Amino acid sequence: MAAEPTSDPHGDPEKDASGIPDAPAGNRTFDASAADDGSSRPLHDLPDVNFWDVLYGRRSIRKFEDRPVDRALIEQVMHAGIWAPSSCNYQMWDLVAVTDPGINGQLAALSTQMANAPVNVIISYGRDFSEEAWANIQSASALIQNMSLAAHALGLGTFWITQTGGAEKVREAVGLPYDRIVIAVLALGWPKVIPKRGPKRRPLDQVTHFEHYAGRPIPSSTNPSDWDADLLAIYQRARVLNGLRHNKPRAWEQRALVDALDALLPDGKEKPAEGEARQRWLDVLPCTGILTAKLGTIRKGFAFDVVERSLEVAEFCANRVSPRGQALAWPTSTDTDAAETFPAPTPDTYDVVSCFFRLEGLRPEHRADLVRAMASWLKPGGRLLLGYVNARSFHGLTEALRARGSGPKGVEYVLSPDPNIGPFEALTPKSVDSLLQEAGGTVEARFRAQAAPAPEEVDFRTRNMQGLSGKAIRTAASVARMADKIPALSQGRSRFQFLCIRFP
């Protein structure tokens, strides 16, 4: 008979007299019925899996099969959760597993993220327990991590949901009392699509320290002046390479780009005839490469290269066009070895150089450097296509409302077009024209788009808003779109500004 378990004040799994945790091992039935609270019971046979395989193999699943999950499996996942450590070992969590389509429909109406899996597990914690240092959230997070690993070991998939459309509304939907706060929701089901490889991680030596912090923190500020160039490169590398989240194009932004190209650069839509060379196009700091991929599909007469801050991001973007482009560096690396494998663009090489919504992420003193560099990369007679967000448009008001609202803050949520991940500062047309004049550029043509937000953008921004707030915003946007029909208003107030520039 097992020794009487002892309580660990830090909430670690209970141990017998030998000090070995009473936990599952190998392919056997784990009998936790001896726990001192009497609430546990034997579970089904556990899979014979290696801990490290589970740890490194787990993926966030965004698409699930449309089939139910057996209740015993759901319970086994939750059982793994409650063996997580909790603050003072209070274990003040309550879990509600929702499989009923009607209730899940209510949850999906609050947030589309809760519409993907057959099971939504609502994780709550005692409202007034362990609030110091957010120990309540830490405890619930440990539980969620345990559940996520257990689900993966059982062949299931999970998605950790924090954008719930209102924690209090979720609490009410599943009947949790007021003294429970909803921490998060864990979507659970059979994976429909499993990523083959996990997202790349920031190198260990960049995030770990011994005895004393010896690094430089990545800012949370949305102001480009607060960012050093190398920290921005590190941040963007981590964000771009972390999965599919940043590879989803937004229709209203791509439509603006297509319309701008039709007006400013209508040639090059067809593949060249056999034996004819493609013209060369350099896309500058494309970040996620979303617009680069679009360019490759609508201007087949060009061969595309990309220039980025880091090798991996440049290669990621270069792989999004066919034929595959060359990955290049800006600013030029001072490391001899890196420069040999990651060259800078060659001067006087490109028929077209494009830079869409990237000046806004640079420090003011670096914008002129980039404009001069782009001018040098053009062939004589080549064209620079520049796109930027107008600070005199509705963008500024929208960003101000976002920053002052009750939603999440910081650089992760700054309002910006698709290619941008990082700090962002909309520009005035006067400041951009001054940059181009100083570099010797002449604006040959302009194209402006969206004096008011497009209907699908409004729907996207208000998708989780309930009641009068969302309706009021949609009504105001509908009225504002009338400005697009008045040239005098739309030209100076349009959010997207595109320029075609030539240099001597």
CA 314 to chain centre: 18
Domains of the chain: 51-189 (3.40.109.10), 229-461+472-502 (3.40.50.150)
Q: Which residues of 98-121 are buried (b: 16+ CB within 10 A; e: fewer)?
A: bbeeebbebbbebbebbebbbbbb
Mean pLDDT for back-to-back runs of 10 residues, the chain (504 residues): 36 36 41 47 72 93 94 95 91 95 95 95 90 87 97 96 92 95 97 81 85 89 93 87 68 94 95 92 95 95 95 91 93 49 89 97 94 97 97 87 75 86 94 96 95 82 59 58 62 90 95
Task: Specify the DSSP class assigned to residue 189.
Answer: E
pLDDT of residue 12: 41
Size (the chain), residues:
504
Single pTM value for the model: 0.71
Is the bond preceding residue 408 a cis peptide, omega within 30 degrees? no
pLDDT of residue 489: 59
pLDDT of residue 74: 96
Tokens of 168: 């209090």
CA 27 to chain centre: 38
Written as one string, the DSSP assignment of 380-396 is EEEEEEEEEEBTTSHHH
β-pairing verdict for 496-502 and 442-449: antiparallel
pLDDT of residue 225: 95
Q: Where are the beta strands (DSSP E) in 427-492?
A: 442-449
